[in-house]
Amino acid sequence: MTFPDKKYNSIKSFCDDYISQLAAAAASIDREKLTAAATVIDDCFNRGNWVYTCGNGGSAAIANHLLCDYAKCIQTDTSVKPRVISLSANLEMITAIANDIEYEECFAYQLKTTAKTNDVLITISASGDSENIVRPVEWASKNSMHTISLTGFDGGRSARISDINLHVNADNYGVIEDTHQSIMHILAQYLRLIHMNKNLIHERNF
């Protein structure tokens, strides 16, 4: 069965069930894979490499939010200088590629233009199977990049071909995207935390 699978008589009861779904989705995150993802991203920043990210729709918004939190928030009170690019952020480039080449290449083309060995690609996709998400993962894997995918539903192709798959066990787009947003925040705040002077932690807002 999927959620929701019935009509609700009140938003209160729907809210209760939605939050229960969120809790189950959060519990499904593989903590060992989350640890591996944090290590890959931290090592990338320490080397001076770049993190690239992309997604469609709501996932594009999470990718753009990732740019903000990783590039700005992680370096607050730390010596880390994160280099982050959201491939979803440049509307002019995306539409030019879609119009002149094909939409399926809108992220892969950008990656091919600037990415280098040991950079990291983070894809965000509920289905994990959108062609314009799968192509950059395939290219990155063939060109010595590290790949991390955030997925839901059955994970799709990106779950199978990425180095680290942070899968959310849920079948509702809102629940999946809310949990992907939480994963993004958990990684960003943790990476900031481990590089901060411990005496500052209780004085700062996260």
CATH of the domain at 153: 3.40.50.10490
Q: How many domains does the chain have?
A: 1
User: Is 54 part of any domain?
Assistant: yes
- How far is Cα 124 from Cα 136, in angstroms, rounded to an integer? 12
175 burial (CB, 10 Å; 0-12 / 13-18 / 19+) is buried
Q: Two tokens at 87?
A: 């491939």
Answer for the pair 144, 191: CB distance below 8 angstroms, yes or no.
no
User: Is 7 part of any domain?
Assistant: no
User: Is 24 part of any domain?
Assistant: no
Residue for token pair 């932690």: 201
Q: Two tokens at 154?
A: 């059955």
- How far is Cα 42 from Cα 47, in angstroms, rounded to an integer? 9
Q: Is the peptide bond before 82 cis (omega within 30 degrees of 0)?
A: no
User: Residue 202 phi/psi, 5° resolution?
Assistant: -70, -10
- pTM of the prediction? 0.96
User: Is 25 part of any domain?
Assistant: no
User: Is 2 part of any domain?
Assistant: no
Q: Of 127, 136, 128, which Cα lies nearest the Cα of 51?
A: 136
pLDDT of residue 127: 97
State which residues form the domain around 197.
30-201
- Through-space distance between the first and last CA atoms of the chain, rounded to whole angstroms: 37
pLDDT (tens digit, 9 = 90+) per residue, 12-32? Answer: 999 999 999 999 999 999 999
Q: Is the pLDDT of residue 1 over 90?
A: no
User: Is 134 part of any domain?
Assistant: yes
pLDDT (tens digit, 9 = 90+) per residue, 140-199? Answer: 999 999 999 999 999 999 999 999 999 999 999 999 999 999 999 999 999 999 999 999
User: Is 6 part of any domain?
Assistant: no
In this prediction, what percent of the chain has a pLDDT beyond 70?
A: 100
Q: Two tokens at 36?
A: 């591996």
Mean residue pLDDT across the chain: 97
pLDDT of residue 146: 98
User: Is 9 part of any domain?
Assistant: no
